[in-house]
A = this chain, B = another copy of it.
Amino acid sequence: MPANRAPAEIGMTVHNVDTPALLIDLDAFDRNVRRMAQQAANAGVALRPHAKTHKCPAIALKQIALGAVGVCCQKVSEAEAMVDGGVQDVLISNEIVGHQKLARLVALAQRARIAVCVDDRENIAALGQAAQAAKIALNVLVEINVGADRCGAAPGEPALELAHQVSTTAGLSFAGLQAYYGSAQHLRTAEQRSEAIGAAIRHARQTRDMLHRSSLECRIISGAGTGTYSLEAGSGVYNELQPGSYVFMDVDYARNRADDGRPFSEFEHSLFVYTTVMSHTTADRAVVDAGMKALSVDSGMPAVSGIEGAEYVGASDEHGTLKLSAAAPPIRLGDKMRLIPGHCDPTVNLHEWYVGVRNDRVEALWQITARGPGF
């Protein structure tokens, strides 16, 4: 069996797709992609969607065709896959450390427009040496910690010092600020998100102004995710948005609430794990063939789409256990159903192919070439 075998063929009906498979509802997906492009255009900011969600150049090219200026990646290996797939502009919205990765990063920057983030003096020096050796000018953003407490220099003076160092390091070109607040995306109420991003905007503005006073121009101020993008878009500070999950959505994002307290429903679930009932020995239980090898449970269990009374209650490596209530329709061995992933990004990373579906037919097979641990 070839290693890259896909679970479907173009033209087959959905019911014949082998399982577990990652389905995209192409109508919903297209609406999501268009909607975010329109929202960014309306706000007058650039859209640079995050490819860490989809890991697929075919999807990146669709986003770019609708106006995105390029994509974000988190790993050199992801950026390589994007450039190999035809993407010409990638911001690695993350720090890259280690001589092998730096060598690959600057080699990539010889054949595409690449930018990378920094938060450390030694790393800036190493990047400069690698860039000089490759005879390129590498675009560098200083990442500031706007609340996530993960990577990033403190806003203000520490960021200014790093920006100065970048601007005076041969081989590097200072491009601006990375100011992403990841954990804010999943704050459940609009008020919580607004408060968190309000603080992030203040940090970004203050740092931008401080840099400006030192004649360090922030060409790019980049950040935002699916949960908060409208706040950054309207900030007057951020000029690039980097949401990823909006193309697919997931159960975790569906827990967010909008201003009016209703579910955050601007984007639609377009991604599903297609699965088969493989055991059904008692009336109240069915076992499906999608467990932790086919979906990630880090943010909770998947939801069973469109089947009342069926709840996915447990994932083991190769099995998902469904609890069936009296409200559930009759379930038979071999039945196939759609699960909405708990968390889209790590679920996608488990698969090699998207099976794009429209009108009950397989219309597209897109390879997830940027999947993997990212060394």
Contacts and interface: CB of A to CB of B under 8 A. Distances in A.
Interface of A: 1, 3, 7, 16, 18-22, 52, 74-75, 77, 80-81, 84, 94-98, 100-101, 104, 119-120, 122-123, 145, 149-154, 158, 182, 276-281, 285, 287, 289-290, 292-294, 296-298, 315-319, 321, 333-334, 345-346, 349-352, 369, 372-375
A150 to B, nearest CB: 6
Interface of A is mostly: loop
Contacts of A52: 317-318
29 contacts: A1-B77, A1-B80, A1-B104, A3-B369, A16-B100, A18-B98, A20-B375, A95-B278, A95-B279, A97-B276, A97-B334, A119-B279, A119-B281, A122-B333, A149-B285, A149-B321, A151-B279, A151-B287, A289-B374, A292-B345, A293-B372, A298-B298, A298-B315, A317-B349, A349-B350, A350-B373, A351-B372, A351-B373, A352-B372
A127 to B, nearest CB: 12
A20 B20 CA distance: 26
B375 A145 contact: no
Given A97-B333, A100-B18, A375-B20, A319 B276 contact: no
A290 B373 contact: yes
Nearest to A334: B97
A280 to B, nearest CB: 7
A154 B285 CA distance: 13
